[in-house]
Amino acid sequence: MSEMDLIDNVIPRRDVIKCTARIGAEIRNVKLSADLPDRTIAAINGLVLEHKVVFFRDQGHLDDAGQERFALRFGKLSPYPEGTTPIYDIDTARGDTGAYVWHIDWSCMDAYPKIAVLRGVTIPLVGGDTVWSNTAAAYLDLPLPLQRLANELWAVHSFPGSYLRSSTEPNTGPMIETEHPVVRVHPETGERTLVLGVYVTRFVGISKYDGQRLLDLFESHVTAQENTVRWKWKEGDIAIWDNRATMHCATKDCGDQRRVVRRATIEGEVPVSVDGRYSVVRSKFIQSTVNNLDR
């Protein structure tokens, strides 16, 4: 049975409502839990691969423990530098500002998370949306000469530190740092996806001045409206996305209203470039306390 047949037999296509032509779908009439049959989990995974990010309304029955158990159905929970709890709390009251910049969750790590499961807990009446972009579609939008250039480029992803940080900001504490190909081959779909975002500190072998312009150029395709989907949260919503084929950011438009979402991430694979080379760890020290630059 093909993956499409499996999805159709488990989750009817009438319950899969596309959000845009290129990315995003709302899945209806599914109550998420750790007790779902293997076929249903496989169908959800297939829809994540197909649409890059999928959304489920009315999942208020899930608490932290339920979210953790459900996320475990997709693989081992990923370690991350924010702490040791399996569910990470992203709270505007704590000043989590990293959500407001385009990023791939923890791309500073070598085997950064492959899937993320995010739950809406406290949602403002106005604003606080999240935007996702399809980085496979963005790669295909590049003119062929730029695709060839991107195929050859490697970038250093670091924590802390990015092009968006001040050059005068003191850089204290151990670093997490990895060299990734700018284009990775998706291990499940075979698509080529762009690996960029706020963790990029420089391109290998290119000056920071030229690198910044290359980053701006490539990311202009990532953030093009036709490659994005914007989700207006309600309490109890669940978003599941392929962290290998998307970038995302929150919208800074809810004023002083509190916004709390909670996230679990699934351990991923070390990226492979188009010529078969693996990402390279430069430093893997983790600070005991870090600034929350990643949501």
Catalytic residue among 22, 73, 263, 295: 263
Secondary structure class of 156 (helix, strand, coil): strand
pLDDT value at residue 93:
87
Q: Is 63 a catalytic residue?
A: no
Q: Is 157 a catalytic residue?
A: no
**Span 199-211, pLDDT tens digits:** 999 999 999 999 9
What letter would DSSP give residue 62?
-
190 Rama class: left (phi>0) / alpha (psi -120 to 50) / beta: left
Q: Regarding predicted confidence, which is higher, 176 or 242? A: 242
Work out the pLDDT band at 96, boundaries 50, 70, 90.
low
Domain parsing of the chain, residue ranges: 81-295
pLDDT value at residue 166:
47
Catalytic residue among 184, 202, 248, 262: 248
Q: Is 186 a catalytic residue?
A: no
Work out the pLDDT band at 250, boundaries 50, 70, 90.
very high
The model scores a pTM over 0.85: yes
Separation between Cα atoms, residue 133 and residue 93, nearest integer Å: 26
Q: Is the pLDDT of residue 71 over 90?
A: yes
Q: Is 256 a catalytic residue?
A: no
Work out the pLDDT band at 94, boundaries 50, 70, 90.
confident
Axis-axis angle for helices 38-51, 3-10 (nearest 10): 120
Transcribe 91-150 into DSSP letters. Answer: EGGGT--GGGS-B-TTTTSTT--SEEEEEEEE--SS---EEEEEHHHHHHHS-HHHHHHH
pLDDT value at residue 171:
52
pLDDT value at residue 79:
74
Work out the average pLDDT over 138-154.
Answer: 98
Work out the pLDDT band at 133, boundaries 50, 70, 90.
very high
Work out the average pLDDT over 205-229.
Answer: 97
Quote the mean pLDDT of the chain.
Answer: 90
Catalytic residue among 22, 51, 103, 180: 103
Q: What are the angstrom distances between the C-alpha of 94 and each of 87, 132, 255?
A: 16, 23, 14
The CATH T-level fold of domain 81-295 is: Double-stranded beta-helix (3.60.130)
Catalytic residue among 51, 96, 105, 110: 105
Q: Is the pLDDT of residue 164 over 70?
A: no
Separation between Cα atoms, residue 156 and residue 177, nearest integer Å: 7
Work out the average pLDDT over 171-192.
Answer: 88
